[in-house]
Structure 1
Amino acid sequence: MICKMGEERFFARETSGLIREMGLVDIVSFILAPIVSSGIIYFAVQSAGQNPAANVPLSFLLMGLMLIPVAVTIGLLIQAAPRSGGLYVPVSRVLNPTIGFFSGWMIFVALSLIGGLISVIGAQALGSAFVVSGVWTGLGSWISGNAFLVGVLFLLITAAFELGGFGTLKWFQRVIVGAPFIILIITWIILAFTSPSEGVAVFNNAFGSGAVESLRQAAGEAGFELTPWTWAGTAGILVAVIFSYGGMPTTTFFGGEMRRGKKISLGFGLGFTLVMVVYTLTAFLTQTTFSGIVGPHAFLSMNAPEALKGVIGSVTDASLPFYIGLLLSKKMAVFFAFLLAIWAVNGIVPIRGAASRVLFSLSFDRALPSQLSEVTDRGVPKWSTGITVGLAILGAYLFSHQYFAVIGTVTSMTRVLLFFFGIAAMVMPFVRQDLFERVPASLPVYLPLASWTTALYGFQLINTITAMGLTTQIIWIIFAIVGLVIYVYQQKRNAEEGIDISDAYKEIPPA
């Protein structure tokens, strides 16, 4: 064990300075928000346009079932050692500090960019809510056309709440998760009691007689033909589904702010189960009620926007607020769609906040300049928060300007840490028995869970990397090299200051 003097010499400070205020309700809300934010609003509906032979609800259900053992594994390890930095901690302590840094750096970049991406999705959802309802259509069109600026506004507002301290942030998050969730349940009920024929009728009523047939014809001319679903088609949308579920581990990075106890693993299990139900029901009900409409709509919005505009009068993505707006009165449509659009906004807090905690942890371990681990008087990472907001703004710009390669880039970036986490979890009982003793599970139960985690995240890493185009590959490499150059420079500084990191990673960071 490293002596106290050694800890003070190596770590940026003797304690993290973070405040443990995160309880069971907050863990569940922080898990629910980032996973369903862009997914529930956008990908659970818009994914239907990627492949006409895809069964979108089935793809979300299957991936959710495969991820349940992963959620259990993550919950057990975080309960054993709740620290800021989440999954980075076991990777760097069990495998190697450099592997820990590289995978931590990649997920820091990815989460920062994703924070900007979902801020734009929130803006687009809000704009479409006003457009489809016929209320404040001018404002709705302006928001949709200026999604980048509105997204930046969302980023700044959420950052302000975060800098107010976790005591303020958690209540803000509870409200913007709880209110939309109630509306979501009501939305499911409305969709469940609306038949496909009624779905066609309300679409034609909103956009003119024969609008559905015109939509399908335009999509067919652009290359999208409605066909029965196939397993190959369902597998063809896996990248979007994997991305949608990718927010689950982000809550682990708030480990330094979680109250210790069994409620940590309980929160992970409950939160993820809710996520799977939300995704599957939303995709199923939307695409059942508007059968044969969602797919062509989503396809045209991505591939032939002018053709879509000729049918519905605007270029509006297929989203949950859009379709629920067709079924309600104008005033109710605005109210419902506005609250549903908040789903995207509430994902900004845990995702971009997680990125700042990763940067904080890397700095705390002196893998990056120690100034990045400074916290405010309210226990919030100071410089790390500012840097992640800057990167999130870049992500918002890229996504709002149709640089969709950023989605493939960030998805594969997150899987680097997750894959190495799986490996670290597998070998921990044998190479770091002192850490495994903290895990509240026996080896026969734990090892199959850890092995499945490695296999699934390994598959996701390979799947997302092989789907990358040249542009995505270049973006990926640029961010990787930038991080490694900074890391090498910091190691040079550590050596010059006489800091030996060879034994430091034998201990988890101080709380």
Structure 2
Amino acid sequence: MSEEVVFVRRASGLVRELSWIDVALWSIACPAASGMTFYAVKVLGYPDTYGGNIALAFFLAGLIFLPLTIAFYYITASFPRSSSMYVVVSRTLHSVLGYIPFWYYIVGGGGAMTAGFVMYIGLKAFSGPLAVAGVASNNPALISMANALIDPVNQLVISIILVAVLWALNMGGIKVIKWTMRIATILPLVVTVLTLAALAFVGADNGMAAFDSVYGPGSTSKIMSVAFNEAVSKQYNVPVLTANPLLIGTYGMLFWTLWAWSGLEVTTFIGSEVKDPSRSYLKGLFTGYAVVMALYLFNAIILPYVFNYDFLAAYAYLRANYPDALASILPGKPLPEPSVPFYIAIAFPNPVLAIIVGLAYFLWYLNTAIPVWVAAVRGFFSMSFDRALPEKLASVSPRFAAPTWANHITAIIAGLGAIITYYENLGATLATALISWLDFSLFIFVWPVGLALTLLPWWRPEIFERTVFRSKVATSVLGIIVFAIGWWLMLYTSYPEPSVQMVNIAAGVLGVSIYVYMMAKNRAKGIDPSKIYGQIPPA
């Protein structure tokens, strides 16, 4: 049976527009958002992580991601297609083992829902410096604007508007996305490096004095007393925050730093749109990995050094769990979520600089949302191309070489992601539950990828012969390592919260139902699914 019959059409309709520079920039941009700017300081004050070393947690998460990054390169350079990992897993193991994990990925933690999540929390990163700018300059207009941005309802409304903007951007095709990503990544990267370098010269614990100068004398000591001094904390009805042992706290932080490192895999979804894939992925992915590791470690070391670990933990603890107590300590002042741009603006309380920093750090969220959105769209597109999802999702605009219906579906799920993130504001427990769902749906693809690499040389030797590195033993060893990491990730990110379990089950039931319907429909048309998954799809 010809390709024209078994696949939706003979060619994907996508164009090779991206270079190794784009692979590198996407590999930097996609991880370096919430992990670096938000959770790097917020999780210091979680009861199950306080006492851990955040820099060590980022480093360990990076080591865990190194074998995965090697696997991402190996697969995508060998099989440069949309959703390369899905293609390899579904052809090596079984179509179902390819479909289910990547269905979870594109609707949840790796794709559509995460795009809405990222747009929502990006506003938190912007509101912090804006609040500092207003307080430092005593500008009522800036304070009002900051308070408006801090309001969760306003954040939800704006994030939905931003989802619509991302939908329009993706309708313009990969060339528009390429240049948007270049601008939206290089600008915040420059600002981040310069501001972190400047922050290093502020001096140990001097950030607390800067906080006091903005929020009033003794503000930091009051916050720390309420968090750590039992006699004081009782007056505010706040339980004392107790430190965990170093290793236990650090292990707890992995829950968040693993999420922070996720995103390197996004470039595997654009294999059909990268020029010279074998070279581009080698240079781009590992450049991105090195830059992300450097950014995370520098960021995680500098902030606790300048602002004092305990103060950062105390503010995060009260802001997440006891905002009324924090508001009574600092009455009449805007109290943004703890974030790196918020503290940078505190250290350098110049209104113009604070706004520039806020905008630059917001771009980290925009340049994360774009690649994960693209991954979701290409995920829907590639499964539709294989007739595992409705064929309409493989529609491509001939003018812009951009998937259309897949983009529409992604927008709907991204909007839902923003709505779900709205409820994260109700406390650390729900925040943990949300990240658990995103972690689970993101990392579920890892162990099937590892299993596919382990079996590929022996199970599908005709496909293995097309790889860029034809060592059977090395490929299987890499696969076993990735499989083990993937299985651990599944166990580690499991969370007993009933709402998380119900979302997991509902997403799975919906995905499997669609798959069964499509397989039955294919059979009715006289199309044998085994012939679809017996070959690599056209680029």
- 1:386 is the counterpart of 2:408: yes
1:228 Cα deviation after fit: 7.5
Equivalent-residue separation in structure 1 for 2:171 and 2:42 (angstroms) = 34
Could you tell me whether the CA contact under 8 Å between 1:409 and 1:468 is conserved in 2? no
Aligned to 2:70: 72
- 1:307 aligns with one of 289, 311, 325: 325
- 1:103 aligns with one of 101, 108, 111: 101
Q: 1:509 to 1:304 in 2, by over 3 A?
A: same
Equivalences for residues 177-188 of structure 1 within 5 A: 177-188=185-196
Equivalences for residues 8-407 of structure 1 within 5 A: 8-50=4-46, 51-110=49-108, 111-134=111-134, 136-145=142-151, 146-220=154-228, 221=233, 222-225=238-241, 227=243, 230-260=246-276, 261-291=278-308, 292-312=310-330, 313-328=333-348, 329-377=350-398, 378-402=400-424, 404=431, 405-407=433-435
Q: Which runs of 5+ in 2 are unaligned?
A: 425-429
Equivalent-residue separation in structure 2 for 1:399 and 1:315 (angstroms) = 19
Aligned to 1:475: 503
Could you tell me whether the CA contact under 8 Å between 2:205 and 2:305 is conserved in 1? no
Q: Which runs of 5+ in 1 are unaligned?
A: none
Equivalences for residues 457-468 of structure 1 within 5 A: 457-465=486-494, 467-468=495-496
Could you tell me whether the CA contact under 8 Å between 1:148 and 1:400 is conserved in 2? yes
Equivalent-residue separation in structure 2 for 1:18 and 1:447 (angstroms) = 32
Equivalent-residue separation in structure 1 for 2:302 and 2:80 (angstroms) = 38
Could you tell me whether the CA contact under 8 Å between 2:30 and 2:369 is conserved in 1? yes
Equivalent-residue separation in structure 2 for 1:59 and 1:192 (angstroms) = 21
Equivalent-residue separation in structure 2 for 1:468 and 1:16 (angstroms) = 41
Equivalent-residue separation in structure 1 for 2:389 and 2:210 (angstroms) = 56
Which amino acid is 2:393 matched to?
L
Equivalent-residue separation in structure 2 for 1:360 and 1:198 (angstroms) = 52
TM-score (norm 2): 0.91
Q: 1:311 to 1:87 in 2, by over 3 A?
A: farther
Which amino acid is 1:290 matched to?
F
Q: 1:266 to 1:205 in 2, by over 3 A?
A: same
Deviations 1:361-396 (CA, angstroms, capped at 9, x unpaired): 111000011111001121111011111111011110
Which amino acid is 2:106 matched to?
F
1:178 Cα deviation after fit: 0.3
Deviations 1:333-364 (CA, angstroms, capped at 9, x unpaired): 11122212211121110011101110111110
Equivalent-residue separation in structure 1 for 2:99 and 2:270 (angstroms) = 18
Deviations 1:172-231 (CA, angstroms, capped at 9, x unpaired): 110010000000111111221112331111011111111111111222333353648510
Which amino acid is 2:456 matched to?
M
Which amino acid is 2:325 matched to?
A
Deviations 1:395-420 (CA, angstroms, capped at 9, x unpaired): 10111222533321121012221221
Equivalent-residue separation in structure 1 for 2:468 and 2:33 (angstroms) = 31
How many residue pairs match? The answer is 506
Equivalent-residue separation in structure 1 for 2:354 and 2:401 (angstroms) = 40
Q: Which 10-residue stretch deviates more, 377-386 or 445-454? A: 445-454
Which amino acid is 2:263 matched to?
G
Deviations 1:69-96 (CA, angstroms, capped at 9, x unpaired): 2201210110001100131111101111
Equivalent-residue separation in structure 1 for 2:365 and 2:240 (angstroms) = 28
Equivalent-residue separation in structure 1 for 2:16 and 2:112 (angstroms) = 23
1:14 Cα deviation after fit: 0.6
Equivalent-residue separation in structure 2 for 1:267 and 1:438 (angstroms) = 21
Which amino acid is 1:233 matched to?
G
Q: Which 10-residue stretch deviates more, 404-413 or 12-21? A: 404-413
Equivalent-residue separation in structure 1 for 2:291 and 2:467 (angstroms) = 25
Which amino acid is 2:112 matched to?
S
Which amino acid is 2:280 matched to?
K
Could you tell me whether the CA contact under 8 Å between 2:113 and 2:415 is conserved in 1? yes
SS in 2 for 1:367: coil
Equivalent-residue separation in structure 1 for 2:368 and 2:255 (angstroms) = 19
Equivalent-residue separation in structure 1 for 2:478 and 2:286 (angstroms) = 14
Q: 1:320 to 1:414 in 2, by over 3 A?
A: same
Could you tell me whether the CA contact under 8 Å between 1:359 and 1:372 is conserved in 2? yes
SS in 2 for 1:36: coil
Which amino acid is 1:21 matched to?
E
- 1:500 aligns with one of 528, 532, 535: 528
Could you tell me whether the CA contact under 8 Å between 1:152 and 1:393 is conserved in 2? yes
1:444 Cα deviation after fit: 4.2
- 1:417 is the counterpart of 2:445: yes
Could you tell me whether the CA contact under 8 Å between 1:32 and 1:275 is conserved in 2? yes
Deviations 1:148-177 (CA, angstroms, capped at 9, x unpaired): 112122222222222112111111110010
Q: Which 10-residue stretch deviates more, 360-369 or 122-131? A: 122-131
Equivalent-residue separation in structure 1 for 2:226 and 2:294 (angstroms) = 33
Could you tell me whether the CA contact under 8 Å between 2:106 and 2:376 is conserved in 1? yes
Percent of matched pairs sharing the same residue: 28
TM-score (norm 1): 0.96
Equivalent-residue separation in structure 2 for 1:290 and 1:447 (angstroms) = 46
